[in-house]
A and B are shown apart, each in its own frame.
Chain A
Amino acid sequence: MRKLGLMLSMLFALTPAAASAHRLIEANAAVTVARSDVTVTPTIEWNRISQRPGNRAERWTLDGELLNDVLFFAEVGDGDTLFREVNRREMPLPQFSGNMLLVDVPSFLESSLRISKGVATFEVTSAAPVQFLSHDGIRFEFTTLGADDLQRRGVAQATIIDGNLFMMLYEAPALHFFQRNLADFEQLVASARID
């Protein structure tokens, strides 16, 4: 009967499943993210959403992913997608390719967000070189219009190490929320290390 329940809850949009709890990320303690060797040390408490957005991804939030969405991607290799497929047959997600250039990462993210989150528009507003995880990386900012007709702003930092993509991303409504926690995200990025 469990199986029936599981399938039904997939088929119908049910009330939120009381499944596994979201985890508290404590302040001032190093924690590994996205099942990788990457660690970050937050200075405030965060929540890790129990459902992984992708095999090589992890999601943190303060008030829910629609209001502040922090995503970690680590060791995304050749043929990997950023997110879990939503509809592989009709709308497959783009796959990472080890020979992508850093400057290609924004459009790779755009396509992934449009397909997986139903983002309607995506515009890069800036992209600049940066050191990330002690490697040459890219930092870019963007704006999106979500499937909920809400304008959001985002910022991401990424690097490619030995053909694998590492990226941290923050996206939040342009009204109020983005500015409110931008510094907290910057702090996370600054604390990121890779062993």
Chain B
Amino acid sequence: MSVLRRACAAAALISLAIPFAATAQDEFAVPTYEGVYQPQDRDERGLWTMADEDERLLRDADLVIRDPALNDYIRSILCRTVGDDRCGNVRIYIVRVPVFNASMTPNGTMRINTGLLLRMRNEAELASVLGHEFAHFELRHTLANYRNTRSGSDLLAWTAVLGAAAATYGGAYNNNRDLQLAVLGGVYSFRRNQERDADMLGFGYIAQAGFRPAAAADVWRAVMNEADQTAIDRGRRTSRYNGVAFFASHPTNLERADTLATLANRVSGGDYEGRDAYSRALAPWVAQFLADELALNDFGGTDYLINRIAGDEYTADLLFARGELYRGRGHPRDLVNAAEFYRRALDLDPDLSAAWRGMGLSLIRSGELALGSDALRTYLEKAPEAPDAAMLRTMVQE
């Protein structure tokens, strides 16, 4: 039994979801914090004990990023968002998983995926997500959600048996994958009223801390857009306006995004975004997070993601990642584009030697052997100790 699977099971108990509507400004008020809480009934104590055990494993897991600077920075955003007394009850674990998610277990363990950090453009966006997650924690939604989850997976098992039986008796076997996703959608979702309450409180934190509230809606739209781009690139229908798919945990996506935006307009908040500070803090990590993302073989989603983070200001890391993405797909036109992305990356940062490697390989695959060799030679001069230097030397024409 793996740490990861256990950790995932725990993470499934709370998952990222943003939404819903409000009526009166007062509802955004942040209540006095109750302080340290202990679990009450059988189910709740069960969850806590397991969360404690899981945290022991997580604490020693190799997947956790322990860099003090990054951890201190992320904690500072959470503390600024929910206040020091609340944030004192949370242990943050940054987990190297290239998937957009954060979760919080009932005992105060907050897991934040690197895939989430990568997708945030500024502190306000991160604050909106962390605040929403913390609100579920403060409101103790896990418990109810967990009881909900139990019936969800029961449904799946029964339908599987009945579906299989139907097939045996000559009936058509239903599309089990969709069904499975639908039920998983149930697992991953909080109930509507929980989402609304978490949003009220979440916006309350944000307003108190002076962040720009509309950031919450920005994040949500981006998640939907990315899912759409993934689907479109893979030649299937998007799940935005209909039916059941991975993002079914948020059934009426479009409506929710709009509701969030409306809500953001109503809450009194500040206009602080903290884009520069966020970029500075994440700069040492973006290249690695992007590399993890690139291995997921999701051209459409990753291309959207890179563009969104960039906005109108591409950094060398982002251009380089885009080059890697296009070179990885490797259509003739992609190779031409890739070479150009690498070239622009080098304009911004001449020390980004890996861009010479990418450019050289793109050019060689495009048939431009001489130019490609030159680029590789430059790379080898700059990075003679690169892991694959010996391999690349054989490709350089003398």
A interface list, Cβ under 8 A from B: 1, 3-4, 7-8, 11-12, 89-94, 97, 99-104, 106-107, 110-111, 114-115, 118, 120-122, 124-129, 136, 138, 140, 145-149, 151
Are A107 and B164 in touch, CB under 8 angstroms?
no
Q: Which of these, A100, A110, A121, A127, contacts B388 with CB under 8 Å? A: A127
- Residues on A with C-beta less than 8 A from B395 are 101, 103
Are A11 and B160 in touch, CB under 8 angstroms?
yes
Chain A binding surface, main DSSP class? mixed
Show 20 residue pairs from A and B whose CB-CB distance is below 8 angstroms, ordered by the A residue: A3-B164, A3-B168, A8-B160, A8-B164, A11-B164, A12-B160, A89-B177, A89-B234, A91-B296, A93-B297, A100-B330, A110-B295, A114-B295, A118-B4, A121-B292, A127-B387, A147-B2, A148-B5, A149-B63, A151-B62
Interface size on B, residues (CB 8 A): 40
- Residues on A with C-beta less than 8 A from B57 are 149
B3 at the interface (CB under 8 A from A): yes
| With A1-B168, A8-B164, A100-B330 as contacts: A107 and B295 at CB distance below 8 Å | yes
A121 to B390, CA, bound (A): 23
- Residues on B with C-beta less than 8 A from A91 are 296-297
Are A115 and B2 in touch, CB under 8 angstroms?
no
Chain B binding surface, main DSSP class? helix
A49 to B369, CA, bound (A): 43
- As a 0/1 sequence over residues 137 to 177 of chain B, the CB contacts with chain A under 8 angstroms (1 = contact) are 00000000000000000000100110011011000010011
B287 at the interface (CB under 8 A from A): no
- Residues on B with C-beta less than 8 A from A3 are 164, 167-168
**CB-nearest residue of chain A to B2:** A148
A90 to B298, CA, bound (A): 9
- Residues on A with C-beta less than 8 A from B167 are 3-4, 7
| With A97-B330, A120-B4, A122-B295 as contacts: A103 and B164 at CB distance below 8 Å | no
Distance in Å: Cβ of B154 to nearest Cβ of chain A: 13
Are B62 and A145 in touch, CB under 8 angstroms?
yes
Distance in Å: Cβ of A152 to nearest Cβ of chain B: 11
Closest 7 CB pairs between A and B? A127-B388, A148-B2, A128-B390, A149-B3, A7-B164, A11-B160, A127-B391
